[in-house]
Amino acid sequence: MTTARVDYIKYAALGLLATAATPAQAQLGTETTSYTLFGTPGLILMPTAEVAADSELAFSYSQFGPNANGTLTFQILPRLSGSFRYTKLDNFWASGPLRGQDFFDRSFDLQYRILNESKYLPAVSVGIRDFIGTGIYSSEYVVATKSIGDKLRVHGGLGWGRLASHNPIGNIGGPRPDWDAGKGGTLNFSQWFRGDFAPFAGLSYKVNDKLTFKAEYSSDAFTVEERRGTLEYNSPFNFGIDYEVSPAFHLNASYVAGSMFGAGLTIRLNPRKPQARSGNEKAPLPVKPRPSRADSVAWSTDWVSTPEDHADIQRVVSDALGKEGIRLKALALTATRAELKIDNKRYNSQPQAIGRTARILTHALPASVESFEITVTQNGIPLSTVTMRRSDIERLEHAPAIDMYQRVTIDEAAPSALRNSDLPNHDTRFTWALAPYLALSFFDPSSPVRGDFGLRFSAKYELTPNIILSGAVQKSIFGNLDDDTYLNTSVLPHVRTDGALYAQQGDPAIEHLTASWYERPGKNLYSRVTVGYLEKMFGGVSAELLWKPVDSPLAIGAEVAWVKQRDYDQLFGFRDYDVVTGHVSAYYDFGNGFSTRVDAGRYLAGDYGATFSVDRTFANGWKVGGYFTKTNVSAEDFGEGSFDKGIRISIPFEWALGTPSKSESSAQLRSLERDGGARLQVDGRLFDWVEDGHGDAYAGRWGKFWR
């Protein structure tokens, strides 16, 4: 049953302890908390060489004149930040079929700190704006920032492209080369740092912790907007103030181009700065040490042959665990050993669930039971087994958690699914929920935000612990997802672009109705078969196999599905389109806070290609990442954006609330969802939950074992 002991985990935990001993992480200096109207760290419109704190995630919205920006900026590494922006320009189209309409655009920026500020030298950063979109903001810059005292900073730089539209002073390589944005989504590499360049400069003055004044000389002359008559440009000087309402919330106001007032707000979140004090949950049950061995009654093993005693113990353990949000799935006892299988429904940190289980066992089990084997399960599938000695629990209850870590073993669990006959109680097999939902859709070409609000009824029944029936019905109460009149011109099978039709006709809708079967086909192997109405737009059958050793940073998976497109009314019928889709996936955890994943295969529209993604992950469960999908669909056929790409963010509730929770709020922000590179959505994909019960889930969070 046992496999290689998970030694690397120990090193990881020790490593964490070692790094933690030096409290401050490497600081680059010249940080700022103040963002531009474009949602990047900096002045008003102009960039600076400042950086945000490492791993800061900033959501901002701002408006000036006809220009509105919604931006997400992430400090990917201490030196590197990336931004994704959605822009609306009022009345942009002066002629043509869109005349009088607004212009909506998406853009990506990157900024990199080359040189940190020193006594005499300034900090220097280099950046590119809108390097992958349709190019309205395309520009590059090099900028320096020097602090004078604690409060004043002076900034100056050179800009190319749009940032050279006011008063250029020279050029590199003649005129800036033309670049055909086409459908967007391609790199404008040939333009970078080419053509005219112009200087820009500015000052920022931090009056106190809350208030910052800014002034700048801008090299952006708003040439395009002025030509179209949507705004008036009178001056290169801009002025602004930034006010910190709370550390997470900033407001700013400005006067731009001598003609417009601007205002904005920024919400700053950081995985390293939890919104709530952690550890507000109730104290755990204290460990109950056993009486001395001289107490022969307490240490008797007569109970082993008494079935009633086994049943009593099982009931006591099951009830006590239930109060901790942990379900007892199986309990087998011998005179000296207890083997438990649990399903942790509450604790974001598996060690905390294991620790609380062990504490309960010290109260419930007869004194002769010395060895605890606690197996974490999910969907009826055992994931990992933590083995410990009861005498260690008693001895180390008040010692640092690392001491206990050195005494336990963490192994792969025996590869057999739970059976009904294992279950101590059957009444937890049916669960249901009636809850409101809100579905939001942002930034389609004709409206920045659409939403749908309604009620959702969901229910689950576990036929056996590893065969689960699940369904959900939803009814919209109000919303405007369905009034999208955008003409669907996609030349590919409309696998994703008929969303408005689904919203119009699917009310009420069967969101999903499935039967899933999870299994352990062998050592290091996990499998899933799901049949039914898998998601809003497709039904059919999907099968998946995952190879993932409990202590390996590498995992490999394969998935294949035959699916048929569902009717727009989202009841039981199907449309004509069906497809075989599937992927081979490789997952790799670099161990330095970054993980990557590659999925190659056939997508819903029958196109072939691969999806590449990288996530920055944090021990407390935060994930911020990006992905892109390239398939054999041409940019022309794909439509706006050329290929599918996006950003995903996952924020654990525990971080926001300070009390334990396994739930998280996750969002995937796509640049533009089209039919190419579209994947089937199916619940219960193996990697997502198998990973939760494997090595890394213990390593970084072992400190919570005794919490």
Show contacts with other proteins in window 370-399 (CB under 8 A): 394, 397-399
Q: Which stretch binds other proteins (CB under 8 A): 335-343, 368-376, 523-531, 655-663?
A: 655-663
Which is it for strands 371-378 and 337-344: parallel, antiparallel or unpaired? parallel
Q: Is 162 in the site for other proteins (CB under 8 A)?
A: no
Out of 98, 121, 433, 554, name the contact with other proteins by CB under 8 A: 433
Out of 155, 662, 685, 694, name the contact with other proteins by CB under 8 A: 662
Show contacts with other proteins in window 608-627 (CB under 8 A): 618-620
Show contacts with other proteins in window 96-125 (CB under 8 A): 106
Residue 379 region by backbone torsions, left for phi larger than 0, else alpha for psi between -120 and 50, else beta: left
Give CA torsion, residues 682, 686, 692, 693, to 10 deg.
Answer: 140
Classified as helix, coil or strand, 498 is coil
Cis amide linkage into residue 508, ω under 30° from 0 = yes
Q: Least Å distance between CB 664 and other proteins?
A: 8
Show contacts with other proteins in window 554-613 (CB under 8 A): none
Out of 288, 315, 407, 575, name the contact with other proteins by CB under 8 A: 288
> Where do we find the tokens 């207890």?
338
Asked if 265 and 253 touch (Cβ cutoff 8 Å), the reply is: no
Q: Least Å distance between CB 247 and other proteins?
A: 13
How far is 334 from 430, CA to CA, in rounded Å?
A: 31
* Residues in contact with 519: Cβ distance below 8 Å, sequence separation at least 6, in sequence order: 381, 417, 466, 526, 527, 528
* Residues in contact with 180: Cβ distance below 8 Å, sequence separation at least 6, in sequence order: none
Out of 113, 597, 674, 685, name the contact with other proteins by CB under 8 A: 674
Q: Least Å distance between CB 548 and other proteins?
A: 23
Q: Least Å distance between CB 20 and other proteins?
A: 4
Centre a 10 Å sphere on the Cβ of residue 155 and count the other Cβ atoms it contains.
Answer: 25
How far is 595 from 696, CA to CA, in rounded Å?
A: 12
Show contacts with other proteins in window 483-502 (CB under 8 A): 484, 486, 488, 490, 496-497, 499-500
Out of 669, 683, 684, 689, name the contact with other proteins by CB under 8 A: 669
Q: Is 356 in the site for other proteins (CB under 8 A)?
A: no
Q: Which is nearer to other proteins, 113 or 707 (CB)?
A: 707
How far is 34 from 250, CA to CA, in rounded Å?
A: 8
Q: Which is nearer to other proteins, 211 or 449 (CB)?
A: 449
Q: Which is nearer to other proteins, 220 or 692 (CB)?
A: 692
Helix ranges, 342-428 (H): 350-364, 390-396, 401-405
Out of 133, 157, 161, 700, name the contact with other proteins by CB under 8 A: 700
How far is 691 from 698, CA to CA, in rounded Å?
A: 10
Out of 512, 670, 685, 694, name the contact with other proteins by CB under 8 A: 670
Centre a 10 Å sphere on the Cβ of residue 271 and count the other Cβ atoms it contains.
Answer: 21
Asked if 350 and 9 touch (Cβ cutoff 8 Å), the reply is: no
Q: Which is nearer to other proteins, 8 or 453 (CB)?
A: 453
Q: Which stretch binds other proteins (CB under 8 A): 175-183, 306-314, 333-341, 424-432?
A: 424-432
Asked if 404 and 390 touch (Cβ cutoff 8 Å), the reply is: no
How far is 707 from 705, CA to CA, in rounded Å?
A: 6
As given in the structure block, the two tokens for residue 675 are 């039919």
Q: Least Å distance between CB 704 and other proteins?
A: 7
Q: Is 546 in the site for other proteins (CB under 8 A)?
A: no
Show contacts with other proteins in window 300-339 (CB under 8 A): 325
Asked if 28 and 51 touch (Cβ cutoff 8 Å), the reply is: yes
Q: Least Å distance between CB 390 and other proteins?
A: 13
Q: Mask of contacts with other proteins, 1-30, x by CB under 8 A?
A: ------------x--xx-xxx-x-------
Q: Least Å distance between CB 14 and other proteins?
A: 10
Show contacts with other proteins in window 438-477 (CB under 8 A): 438-445, 450, 453, 455, 458-460
Q: Which is nearer to other proteins, 227 or 398 (CB)?
A: 398
Out of 170, 258, 400, 522, name the contact with other proteins by CB under 8 A: 400
Q: Which is nearer to other proteins, 262 or 703 (CB)?
A: 703
As given in the structure block, the two tokens for residue 346 are 């509450």
Q: Least Å distance between CB 396 and other proteins?
A: 9
Q: Least Å distance between CB 285 and other proteins?
A: 8
Asked if 562 and 541 touch (Cβ cutoff 8 Å), the reply is: yes
Residue 62 region by backbone torsions, left for phi larger than 0, else alpha for psi between -120 and 50, else beta: beta
Q: Least Å distance between CB 11 and other proteins?
A: 14
Q: Least Å distance between CB 100 and other proteins?
A: 21
How far is 3 from 343, CA to CA, in rounded Å?
A: 22
Q: Which is nearer to other proteins, 398 or 426 (CB)?
A: 398
Q: Which is nearer to other proteins, 250 or 707 (CB)?
A: 707
How far is 9 from 156, CA to CA, in rounded Å?
A: 47
Nearest to 458 by CA among 472, 468, 469: 472
Q: Dihedral sign, CA of 313, 316, 319, 325? A: negative
Q: Which stretch binds other proteins (CB under 8 A): 173-181, 268-276, 314-322, 583-591?
A: 268-276
Q: Which is nearer to other proteins, 306 or 666 (CB)?
A: 666
Out of 366, 532, 660, 703, name the contact with other proteins by CB under 8 A: 703
Q: Which is nearer to other proteins, 5 or 323 (CB)?
A: 323
Out of 128, 132, 360, 401, name the contact with other proteins by CB under 8 A: 401
How far is 529 from 684, CA to CA, in rounded Å?
A: 10
Q: Least Å distance between CB 282 and other proteins?
A: 3
- In DSSP terms, 85 is beta-bridged to 71, 107
Q: Which is nearer to other proteins, 141 or 538 (CB)?
A: 538
Q: How many residues bind other proteins (CB under 8 A)?
A: 95
Show contacts with other proteins in window 336-355 (CB under 8 A): 345-346, 349
Tell me the residue length of the chain: 707
Q: Is 44 exposed, middle or buried (0-12, 13-18, 19+ CB in 10 A)?
A: buried
Asked if 595 and 694 touch (Cβ cutoff 8 Å), the reply is: no
